[in-house]
């Protein structure tokens, strides 16, 4: 158990260090455009991506850097994409909010709230006919649960028993509005259950619990059991986007979130298990060193050629 949690800590630090470096590069002016970070939500991608096979398809929101990393996307081309470099995973065309890395099973982000859900359903339907029998996993926030496209996607997947895992990262905030003020019933997991979908809400700060839960549901979906919904009770430690001052949040809430977030929690558990402090600290340092190397290399890469902006666009 110690070894597994230590591996999870290293994986979560890779995501956190990447996001913190991305924020620094936004503030320095090197990264342009809208950037949404997943600080505090690292356990979700680290746990869930272990449940997927190479042929499975993952669709994330615009807060998707952590999911791309956990799916195996190398840090250098990922950082280069945020920087608009020609060496980026999409040649610098996608940037932070639209990147994809299909060669790693990461089929991209989407800046339309909830739009990844119907696309994932399409991927699962195609897998039924192309012989891949892939499972599709789509990730969205609590605010997306109020989007009609998400409900339609869930209903279609349920009616046709498609292997789709709907993952809701419920960080309690729908952009700048608390979810409790946007719905009458805050138990979002009740909705897919009403459609006949297996639905669970779990601790989104426990990567091992997420891994076990999603693995079981993926196996059931792959065996013909149809779609499932997993709600991760989590939190973001930063604003909705880089530059959001977060004045709508109280100090008490932020302090509570910093206590329960997955990296702080993993460090406490490893310390209690007797893991030496220097070994725990090395997990962070190794991640930061790797991210710094990736960023340095990406900053030295040539910018994307603006004449190629219309390439790979289909209508």
pLDDT at position 198, please? 98
pLDDT at position 68, please? 98
Could you give the C-alpha distances from 269 to 1, 4, 9, 13, 276, in angstroms and in order? 11, 12, 11, 15, 12
Beta bridge partners of 232: 169, 202
pLDDT at position 144, please? 96
pLDDT at position 6, please? 97
Pull the structure tokens for residue 36.
């949404």
**pTM here?**
0.96
Question: For 2-298, CATH number?
Answer: 3.40.50.970
pLDDT at position 309, please? 82
Shortest CA distance to 191 belongs to which of 225, 148, 135?
A: 148
Name the residue with tokens 């419920």.
170
- Those residues of the chain that have pLDDT short of 50 are none
pLDDT at position 312, please? 83
Spatial neighbors of 50 by CB under 8 A, at least 6 apart, are: 211, 215
Dihedral over alpha carbons 211, 216, 222, 223 (to 10 degrees) = 170
pLDDT at position 218, please? 98
Name the residue with tokens 């340095």.
296
The string over 136-146, giving b where at least 16 C-beta atoms fall within 10 Å of a residue's C-beta and e elsewhere, is bbbbbbbbbbb
Spatial neighbors of 86 by CB under 8 A, at least 6 apart, are: 80, 92, 301, 302, 303, 304, 305
In degrees and rounded to multiples of 5, residue 159 shows phi and psi of: -65, -30
Shortest CA distance to 11 belongs to which of 60, 34, 44, 55?
A: 44
pLDDT at position 276, please? 96
Shortest CA distance to 34 belongs to which of 234, 244, 236, 174?
A: 244
pLDDT at position 314, please? 78
Beta bridge partners of 253: none
The whole-angstrom separation of Cα 6 and Cα 207 is 11
Measured in whole angstroms, the distance separating CA 75 from the mean position of its chain's CA atoms is 15
């Amino acid at each position: 158990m110690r070894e597994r949690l230590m591996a999870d800590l290293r994986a979560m630090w890779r995501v956190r260090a990447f996001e913190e470096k991305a924020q620094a590069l936004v503030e320095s002016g090197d990264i342009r455009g809208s950037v949404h970070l997943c600080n505090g939500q690292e356990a979700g991608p680290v746990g869930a991506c272990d449940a997927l096979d190479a042929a499975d398809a993952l669709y994330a929101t615009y807060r998707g850097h952590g999911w791309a990393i956990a799916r195996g996307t190398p840090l250098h081309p990922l950082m280069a994409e945020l920087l608009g470099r020609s060496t980026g995973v999409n040649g610098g065309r996608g940037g932070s909010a639209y990147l994809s890395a299909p060669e790693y099973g990461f089929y991209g982000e989407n800046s339309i709230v909830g739009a990844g859900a119907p696309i994932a359903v399409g991927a699962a339907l195609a897998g039924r006919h192309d012989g891949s029998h892939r499972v599709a996993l789509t990730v969205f926030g609590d605010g997306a649960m109020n989007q009609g496209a998400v409900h339609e996607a869930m209903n279609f997947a349920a009616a046709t028993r498609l292997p789709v895992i709907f993952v809701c990262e419920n960080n309690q905030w729908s952009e700048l509005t608390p979810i409790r003020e946007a719905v009458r019933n805050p138990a979002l997991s009740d909705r897919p259950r009403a459609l006949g979908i297996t639905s669970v809400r779990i601790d989104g700060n426990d990567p091992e619990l997420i891994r076990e839960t999603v693995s079981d549901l993926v196996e059931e979906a792959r065996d013909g059991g149809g779609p499932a919904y997993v709600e991760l009770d989590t939190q973001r430690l930063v604003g909705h986007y880089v530059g959001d001052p977060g004045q709508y949040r109280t100090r008490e809430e932020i302090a509570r979130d910093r206590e329960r977030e997955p990296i702080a929690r993993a460090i406490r558990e490893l310390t209690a298990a007797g893991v030496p402090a220097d070994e725990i600290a090395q997990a962070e340092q190794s991640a930061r060193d790797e991210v710094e190397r990736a960023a340095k290399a990406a900053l030295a890469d040539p910018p994307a050629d603006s004449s190629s902006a219309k390439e790979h666009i289909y209508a």
